Chains A and B, each alone.
Chain A
């Protein structure tokens, strides 16, 4: 029977039953009907979700019990298994991983195994992992999901393929790099950096995305790090120059420091005066410190009095990394004239980084100091064990 028929029947029934009643009562009947629908919908959905979990759990247990040990043996075996060998040893279980749901579960089992192995520092035979997942058509399955119309499925596919360490072709990812779902779009753009062989850094040229945030930084950092394992990265300063987005610029500058692109230091130093954004300035100053570009010290000292507290803080920390006598003298002078308690603690830790000379300075402070300064000295010396 048609559901619409039943719905219509009961709507008309309720309407006729309460026809002569006041408006309030009829409204109440309507509201009760809505609440009852919500109640039963929630109950049915609750039961359905619970059933889904149970079925998944059962399937997972079945796959693990029948294949778990053999998968383990293959993954951790230093000997490279061929596709035929794996197909032979798992011949009886191929049918267990045929349906979509089974492939999802199988993927999760493999990812968990890889993740646990990495945590316990076990050596994985990546070659066998790839052969194993190919035997079950897992990469093809996820690549098909990447072509799906659902952005949720595409995003999940990107994550799973990345987790499996499977080098899928850049062309498939390219389908998602202009998607209207910004989460998917940004994830795909970041993945291009690792998997595309044609123009992997295309989106860094375009400031990555108009909507750039700190989570994108984490994802890009992940793919840049993975990419850097297979060869040196290009000079990242060019992407800083081309961008108009300050958050993106600041991020790329920090990455220059992380990947230790020392040759970029003079260029960054020249950018310092040109940028008005504090976030970019802080990133440049911190990176100059990280790259130990002592030539910029005088420039940083000159900048100190002209900038805000956050930039000043980064200047102090960078000067401490250069570890020059001039820097020590400057920081000592700053400590003497500083009235900001937090800044004093910062300065003391920075002075301490100069080693013996720094400790001498702190000791001389301590002998004349009382109250807060004494506590700062005690804290720094205790903390650093000097």
Chain B
């Protein structure tokens, strides 16, 4: 009986890994053609037309919630205000910060409290005040001061309530956007016969970049170990997985770090869920569900261009917090939205997105850890065949490294972000060690997140250590 079980389990693990390989290779092929298509369709010429003819450029509200972000808030807002696009506003939501975030904003951007007829279109904690600048240089900036809601989703909702344009960007104050970001993300919206309800773009690590006055002057790979691993991980997720899914109009998640959303659909869906630990995926799924339930056509698009740089976890402690939260969020998604799973009524979401996320994202850490324990057991009981065992190890190792190298090739084919060849080599080198030095931690932290969700433990919003981008700045914020 045991033999049958072990044999079955061994086969199951093998075919699971093979399925992931096949899916990833399919996504890579789809992603590659999607990248090519994007490169041919959307060039500087089209972006320039939007700037030359402001009357043709749809307005975009950039919403960035801030909670105790005094270390980086000024640089970040300067970066947002320097975007090269004719019609946009920047809404910074001060989510009841207990540090000097609001005071710094008011002082640095010449802001004064203004009367504002606030409408609570989506639910959030009460809004206290709205500030605008009396300096024409900062006329695009609006600061919303609200009571702390405890989550980014709650602050985002306040921003959505104030946003005046049809599309808004959901980003974080610790994110730095490329100056041509808005033109890049609005072009796929314009170039579609079907309404586009959300657009995602490639995010990267800001940790190693040179930043002056909130603007990235030189893109470099991170100096620290963990953000370097994360850089490749992000690229893999955006350029292979999401670009591939985008070709099928089946993007499962528009990232919370950076994403363009259609405001009215978000409002119709009730806004971001303040109780969700993965508010970005939750929002994306609810928007898709809304469109299906109302029989309205839609598209969610992923653009391959690097638009957003964010500060990645600099050490294992912060990475643990981030990934534990993501783990909690993922499990919560399946608990809250279980009705979508295998439900034909929800089209691709019910039959492709959710099953994929269930088997290859939610179950992956469980299968990986159980597979590892199973392997240890087999080693201990001497059931390993050394003549073929190395083949299996090589196979598993190659899945990761080949997809990572493919991703780096995709990235350089879109645009050479790093100046020197050695900087790209660093990414390739790190991806060779990812399977041993980085991935095991991700599995452990995800499982911890599942455990916390099931035991209702530690549901506090994860904290992030901001290092800031000024040489002297360093502080711990929640």
Contact = CB atoms under 8 A, between A and B. Distances in A.
Interface string A12-40: 00000000010011011101101110110
A46 B114 contact: no
A43 B407 CA distance: 10
B119 A341 contact: yes
Interface string B112-143: 00111111000000000000000000000000
B409 interface: yes
B408 interface: yes
Contacts of A342: 119
A21 B389 CA distance: 13
A384 to B, nearest CB: 12
Nearest to A53: B416
Interface class of chain B by DSSP: helix
B477 interface: no
B388 interface: yes
Interface string B378-422: 000000000010011011001101110110110011001000010
Given A53-B416, A155-B40, A345-B117, A222 B52 contact: yes
Given A24-B11, A39-B402, A162-B45, A32 B53 contact: no
Given A42-B406, A53-B416, A35 B399 contact: yes
B359 interface: no
Interface stretch (A121-129, A137-145, A371-379): A371-379
A222 B25 CA distance: 41
Contact of A39 (B45, B56, B405): B405
Nearest to B10: A24
Contact of A382 (B41, B50, B115): B115
Q: Which of A29, A31, A217, A345 has the most CB of B within 10 A?
A: A31
B398 A49 contact: no
A221 B424 contact: no
A36 B115 contact: no
A341 B117 contact: yes
B376 interface: no
A152 B191 contact: no
B73 interface: no
B36 to A, nearest CB: 9
A378 B409 contact: no
Interface string A196-222: 000000000000000101110111011
A298 interface: no
A214 B194 CA distance: 11
B182 to A, nearest CB: 14
B392 A379 contact: no
A24 B413 CA distance: 36
B373 interface: no
A213 B188 CA distance: 11
B9 interface: no
What does DSSP make chain A's interface, helix, strand, loop or mixed? Answer: helix
A345 to B, nearest CB: 6
A35 B52 contact: no
Nearest to B394: A32
Given A215-B191, A218-B46, A36 B398 contact: yes
A31 B402 contact: no
A378 B412 contact: no
B405 A221 contact: no
A42 B409 contact: yes
Contact of B409 (A31, A46, A155): A46
Contacts of B41: 183
B116 A213 contact: no
Interface string A212-245: 0111011101100100000000000000000000
Contact of B114 (A28, A215, A379): A379
Contacts of A341: 117, 119
A46 B408 contact: yes
A379 B115 contact: yes
Contacts, number: 125
Nearest to A48: B409
A45 interface: yes
Interface in A304-329: none
B391 A28 contact: yes
A292 B116 CA distance: 31
Interface residues of A, number: 50
A39 B192 CA distance: 35
B21 A45 contact: no
Contacts of B11: 24
Contact of B25 (A38, A39, A163, A213): A38
Contacts of A344: 117
B97 to A, nearest CB: 24
A115 B45 CA distance: 11
A35 to B, nearest CB: 4
B49 A32 contact: no
Contact of B193 (A34, A211, A219): A211
A43 B119 CA distance: 54
Nearest to B406: A42
A159 interface: yes
A378 B118 CA distance: 12
B369 interface: no
Given A31-B18, A42-B409, A159 B117 contact: no
B406 A38 contact: yes
Contacts of B405: 38-39, 42-43, 46
A218 B52 CA distance: 10
Contact of B46 (A38, A215, A221, A382): A215
A9 interface: no
A265 to B, nearest CB: 19
A93 interface: no
A375 B408 CA distance: 53
Contact of A50 (B14, B392, B421): B421
A330 interface: no
B275 to A, nearest CB: 26
B153 interface: no
A1 B306 CA distance: 42
B375 interface: no
A287 to B, nearest CB: 13
28 contacts: A25-B391, A27-B18, A36-B398, A38-B25, A38-B403, A39-B402, A42-B408, A45-B409, A45-B413, A46-B408, A49-B409, A50-B421, A183-B40, A183-B41, A214-B189, A215-B46, A215-B190, A218-B190, A219-B49, A221-B53, A222-B52, A225-B53, A258-B55, A344-B117, A345-B117, A372-B117, A375-B116, A379-B116
Given A162-B45, A379-B117, 14 more contacts: A29-B391, A31-B18, A31-B21, A35-B395, A38-B402, A38-B405, A39-B406, A42-B405, A159-B43, A183-B41, A213-B192, A214-B189, A218-B46, A378-B115
7 closest A-B pairs (Cβ-Cβ)?
A378-B115, A215-B191, A214-B190, A35-B398, A375-B117, A215-B190, A42-B405
